Structure 1
Amino acid sequence: MKAQVIRSHGTIDQITYEENWPTPEPEDGHVVIRVKACSLNYHDLFTLKGMPGIKVPMPIIMGIDMAGIVAAVGPNCGAWKEGDRVMVDPLLRERYSLLGETLDGGLAEFCKVPADQLISLPENVGFEQAAALPVAYGTAYRMMVTRGGMRLDGSAAGEKVFILGASGGVGTCCVQLAKLSGAEVIVAASSQEKLESLKALGADHGINYRDEDFMKALHGIAGKPRIWGEGGVDTIVNFTGGDTWVPSIKSLRKGGSLLTCGATAGFDPKTDMRYIWTFELNIIGSNGWLREDLHSLLELVQQGQLNPPVDMRFALADAPKAFQALEDRQAFGKLIIVP
């Protein structure tokens, strides 16, 4: 089979296109799927470059998120059969690791997957939509709905939600979920083009953080928070950390919530704790997703309430170009590899 393989950590030029890589065989409790779509995540870049504390066996095929068709079935795989359309939950919970990180992933024509990681894919959900969901959308859903308590029934009318990093996979899901809640949605992105795309997705206000101080811009939209309760944003989604952390805290209304699932710009920002107790703020962390979060996302896609935007598609042979676009933050939403 054809596959993109790495044999050591390093830069994008470490990714090697193999045209005669061994096709995996089904075994006990495992199926082989014909990969129809694989979406990239920043975690794939972390796997490529190496992460402290995570041992990646080499050589390995990256690609965490995938969807496809069952091509072969091993013993003890339950009711799964050849031809079934499936989405893969890539989180191997018993070892708390990921497909495409400690086991071969979806940057190949075929992938061997534990049968208990499969989720049946409805006919009205496309392979690209499904491949976009687990890591980015599962993380966003758990952060905002499961952990953050956001209700997707329009009941948040009158509230304001601000989303940093809104143009990526996690961010575009957060925008759509916040809009379903009924809130007024404010987003930050690095270009006017991305802001226009976010407004088309449902955002009400856009802040170009390269051109203006987002905290001052937020105060202009929502008012400066006051101890007696006026002003400020109800909910802020911040998975960047770094220099954005303190301005986010200073932009929340009294009793507001800051939701976080990562720290792409730095994990040890300075924090003035006086704001947290004085304004009775809620700091809510979220880590990954559970299987039920993915089922909930599939239902939203089926109902037409959620649609992951796919900005770029690449052939398997061009996967390094996709990694470069990901690293350069060129894409809006998700990048998809089509083997």
Structure 2
Amino acid sequence: MRAAVIYEHGGPGSIQFEANFADPVAASGEVIVKVGAASLNYHDVFTRNGMPGITVPMPMIMALDFAGEIVEVGPDVEGGWKVGDRVLIDPSDRKNFGGVIGEARHGGLAEFCAVPDHHLVKLPDDVSYEVAASLPVAYGTAYRMMTTIGKIKAGERVLILGASGGVGTCCVQLAKLAGCEVIAAASSPEKLARLKELGADHLLDYKQDDFMKWVFTNFGKPHRRLAEKGVDVVVNFTGGDTWVKSLRTLHRGGRVLTCGATAGYDPKEDLRFIWSYELQVLGSNGWSRDELITLLGLVREGKLKPVIDKTYGLEEINEAFRYLEDRQVFGKIVVKP
């Protein structure tokens, strides 16, 4: 089969396209899925590069997120799955608490993939493979952070840093769906224009403006005695030098929502703002199966539309990763076998 494979950890350009990689064989409790579409996440970049403390068996076919059609059912498969069923893959191992698909075992950057039955989610006919493959990691993470953990609500003013990526574009949509006033921060006028199309109420070019000062100018500088001015919520999965500035934009009782640290996990901290303004710092990690099914429902109802920037073929995989790593992407990148 055709596949994009790593044989050792490496940097940009190190993924190999194979035209005749061995077809997968269904073990007990597994099905063979013909991949309809996969999407890329920064997790895939980390897997390619290598992560301290995590052993990736080689060779490895990456991609946590993918969807397709069952073409073979192995022995002892549970759940009533049959050939022809359309499925979305939930990459988290919720049965054995093992590693994720695309890191601990082969993922979706291939024509076919062997998938244990407990990773399968029924995919309705009216949701495309491309849209479904965009959901689990980025949209599942965003939904849990914004809704389950963050409990955003109508009337709140929400500042979203890094709003143009997969997680960010979902956060903008979820905040608007909840009735929030949304400030979307991104790095270019082109990305900001597209965020406006998604419904963002205010646009902030963080390469041109210091976002903290921008908030002070437009919404006032928060006061420790008052639950007004500034913003109610900051979505910050960048970390680094944005962290303390995020705290300073929040009014009394405000909250920071975080699910990552793409700009640095060990930022300078200022506890004075947390205790004196009674701020809440809320972390979120991953998603539940129920949350993933809820996302599928929102897509079917037309309330949520995953943003797909570009689609690549398997033979273009290194170019697809380059586009992601150069932070040119708006939303998601899809790869089709």
TM-score (norm 2): 0.97
Answer yes or no: is the 8 Å Cα contact 1:313–1:338 preserved in 2: yes
Output the CA distance in 2 between the equivalents of 1:329 and 1:97.
27
SS at match of 2:299: helix
> Given the alignment of the two structures, is residue 327 of structure 1 paired with residue 325 of structure 2, yes or no?
yes
Q: Deviations over 1:228-280 (max 9, x none)?
A: 22311001100000000000000001101100000010111111111111111
Output the CA distance in 2 between the equivalents of 1:222 and 1:184.
12
Answer yes or no: is the 8 Å Cα contact 1:65–1:132 preserved in 2: yes
1:2 Cα shift? 0.3
Whichever residue aligns with residue 15 of structure 2, its letter is I
1:12 Cα shift? 2.5
What are the equivalent positions in structure 2 for 1:46-195 lying under 5 Å apart?
Answer: 46-78=46-78, 79-93=80-94, 94-151=96-153, 156-157=154-155, 159-195=156-192
Q: Deviations over 1:140-196 (max 9, x none)?
A: 111111111235xxxx12x20010010000000100000011010001101000000
Q: Deviations over 1:81-112 (max 9, x none)?
A: 01101100001132342111110000000011
**Corresponding residue for 1:282?**
280
What are the equivalent positions in structure 2 for 1:221-232 lying under 5 Å apart?
Answer: 221-229=218-226, 230-232=228-230
Q: What count of residue pairs does the alignment treat as equivalent? A: 334
Answer yes or no: is the 8 Å Cα contact 1:232–1:254 preserved in 2: no
Aligned mate of 2:200, from 183, 203, 208: 203
What are the equivalent positions in structure 2 for 1:22-33 lying under 5 Å apart?
Answer: 22-33=22-33
Whichever residue aligns with residue 118 of structure 2, its letter is D
SS at match of 1:270: coil
Range moving further from structure 2, 85-94 or 46-55:
85-94
What are the equivalent positions in structure 2 for 1:30-49 lying under 5 Å apart?
Answer: 30-49=30-49
Whichever residue aligns with residue 168 of structure 1, its letter is G
Output the CA distance in 2 between the equivalents of 1:150 and 1:234.
9
Structure 1 residue ranges (4+ consecutive) displaced by more than 3 angstroms after TM superposition? none
Whichever residue aligns with residue 135 of structure 1, its letter is V
Output the CA distance in 2 between the equivalents of 1:112 and 1:190.
39
Output the CA distance in 1 between the equivalents of 2:132 and 2:151.
24
Output the CA distance in 2 between the equivalents of 1:26 and 1:226.
61
Output the CA distance in 1 between the equivalents of 2:224 and 2:101.
47
**Identical positions, percent:** 57
Unaligned runs of at least 5 residues, structure 1: none
Whichever residue aligns with residue 57 of structure 2, its letter is P
Output the CA distance in 1 between the equivalents of 2:329 and 2:254.
31
SS at match of 1:35: strand
1:220 Cα shift? 2.1
SS at match of 2:13: helix
Unaligned runs of at least 5 residues, structure 2: none
> Given the alignment of the two structures, is residue 242 of structure 1 paired with residue 240 of structure 2, yes or no?
yes
Aligned mate of 1:295, from 293, 296, 299: 293
Answer yes or no: is the 8 Å Cα contact 1:140–1:170 preserved in 2: yes
SS at match of 1:98: coil
RMSD: 0.9
TM-score (norm 1): 0.97
SS at match of 2:329: coil
1:223 Cα shift? 1.5
Q: Deviations over 1:196-215 (max 9, x none)?
A: 00110110111111111011
